[in-house]
Amino acid sequence: MACAAGYEVLALDAFADEDTSTLASQALRLPYAECGFERGAFEAALSAICREHECAGFLYGSGFEADPALLGMVSARMPLIGNAADVVARAKSVPGFFSLLAELDIPHPPTSKRSPSTKCGWLLKREGGSGGTHVRRADRSAGPGEYFQQELAGVPVSLLFAADGANVRVIGYNMQKVAASAKMPFRYGGLVSNVGLPADCCEVLRKAALALTQTLKLRGLNSVDAVLTPDGRTFVLELNPRLTASAAAYRTHPGLLAIHLDACQGRLHDVDVEPVSQAQAVCYAREDFTVPCNLDWPAWASDLPAAGSRIVAGDPVCSVYAEAADASVAEALAQHRLQAIAELQRQAPAAVEI
């Protein structure tokens, strides 16, 4: 997003994939621990960048919710382009955030730090977790940083919006996909943008975004995640007070980076969103393998691993994208492309170690 807008980018990333390394002037791969960046490695990389470069600001996505103090570390060195560390901390605090939802009359599932009388029908989650990899069906007591939330049947949905601390602009409504595995039944699988959700669901999401913006003074692009139940009710699950994957799934006028930058400064644009849906899907490795040097990646694949890198079963291989005027068509095409990537892995030459 920043490169496309003409900015020089220095990237700190958990994967430092080929796309990022190609686009950025410098890309540093950092270790990930407990749902976020490992503090010591992050601080060392940040200090090195600040010694060598004068940065206009720090644009961030996931990796900070489990330890918002990392953002405080950044803000002491350069401007944050997004919500402040204390806002992220409040949005990810349990039970504080869910108490706030109750005060604002925003529907949400029962959530508690205490073990329910019966664990059947409850989920065990980690504070600050992202990507669904931390979510399990409850079968034990909660450990440090964990909490229980009642499981609700339904479809995961979200709203991407811009905020200036007082008002919001809707960018689009999304439907999220799960790529379940035996150990991670709620692992993030992708999303489809610009979907037609029921009017009542859209209204719940929009009102939640506005109330949370006015209470937490949200700035820039944010998203609200929820579940739409079979009986048509919408329950908010979390607020993502940062750039999310859905931000890459829209073409807008002005561009989304301009919208984000200006909203962070308290200026909201009227947004013109192109009427197309984009489907994103994550391809996970089914078994351990090494990426061959001569693998011919399709143009619709991104987040590509470097040739020669070792990928462990269950880790992401890449993402695939598809676009269409209709959300269901885009989703079907993305799923077809996922299968094509799986076939590429199966047909890889002897350089791949299976």
The tokens for 227 are: 């579940």
pTM of the model: 0.94
Which of 67, 78, 22, 79 shows the shortest CA–CA distance to 42?
67
Helices (H), 53-134: 69-75, 85-92, 96-103
The tokens for 235 are: 């329950």
The tokens for 49 are: 């960048």
Three-class SS state of 319: strand
Task: Note the pLDDT of residue 351.
Answer: 38
Tell me the CATH number for domain 89-273.
Answer: 3.30.470.20
Lookup result for tokens 């579940």: 227
Which of 245, 239, 214 shows the shortest CA–CA distance to 92?
239
Three-class SS state of 270: coil
Q: Per-residue confidence of the chain (354 residues) as pLDDT tens digits?
A: 888 788 899 999 988 899 899 999 999 999 987 778 999 999 999 999 999 999 999 999 999 999 999 999 999 999 999 999 999 999 999 999 999 999 999 999 999 999 999 999 999 999 999 889 899 999 999 999 999 999 999 999 999 999 999 999 999 999 999 999 989 999 999 999 999 999 999 999 999 999 999 999 999 999 999 999 999 999 999 999 999 999 999 999 989 999 999 999 999 989 999 999 999 999 999 888 888 888 889 999 999 999 888 899 999 999 999 999 999 999 999 999 999 998 887 765 433 332
Contacts 24+ apart (CB under 8 A), 116-121: 116/148, 116/150, 119/148, 121/150, 121/151
- The DSSP 8-state label assigned to residue 293 in this structure reads T
Going from N- to C-terminal start, the domains of the chain cover: 10-81, 89-273, 277-346
The helix/strand count (H/E) of the chain reads as 8, 22
Q: What is the separation of C-alpha 102 from the centre of its chain, rounded to a whole number of angstroms?
A: 24
Task: Note the pLDDT of residue 93.
Answer: 96
Task: Note the pLDDT of residue 348.
Answer: 54
- Name every residue whose Cβ is closer than 8 Å to that of residue 17 and which is 6 or more positions away in sequence: 303, 304, 305, 306, 318
Q: What is the separation of C-alpha 165 from the centre of its chain, rounded to a whole number of angstroms?
A: 21
The tokens for 139 are: 């079968």
What span, in angstroms and rounded, lies between the C-alpha atoms of 306 and 33?
22
Q: At what angle do helices 199-216 and 96-103 cross, to 10 degrees?
A: 110
Helices (H), 174-274: 199-216, 256-264
Measured CA distances, 4 to 23, 46, 238, 258 (Å): 9, 23, 29, 11
Cβ density class 155-190: b for 16+ within 10 Å, e for less:
bbbbbbbbbbbeebbbbbbbbbbbbeeeebebbbbb
